[in-house]
Amino acid sequence: MLPLQDQRETIAETQRITDEVRRDALRAAAADSTVANAVLLDASMQENSQIKEAPKTDDGSNDVLWVNKFAPKHYTHLLSDEVNYFFVDVL
């Protein structure tokens, strides 16, 4: 069995290493989220730049229906920031 002082030193070293690993993990997570946000922003900007005006007919109206013009391009456009909770009572 290790003397009490050696056990305390081992515990302190273990805590130091654990804290270091935790800090590294938090830095990596922050870097990953920054990269992910940059990729999403770039994709969003590309989508916005690809939106073009619909060709006009002779009478000046557009050939594209309003519903089609503003339809979501990706499933993420359908997601909401709101949180809805549905409770089901079971009798």
pLDDT for the residue numbered 84:
58
What angle is formed at CA 82 by the lines to CA 79 and CA 83, rounded to 5 degrees? 105
* Cα–Cα distance for residue pair 24/33, rounded to 1 Å: 14
pLDDT for the residue numbered 12:
93
- What mean pLDDT is predicted for residues 81-89? 58
Neighbours of 12 (CB within 10 A): 10
Task: Convert the pLDDT of each residue in 19-56 to its tens digit.
Answer: 999 999 988 888 888 888 887 777 777 766 665 555 56
Task: Convert the pLDDT of each residue in 64-78 to its tens digit.
Answer: 788 888 888 877 777
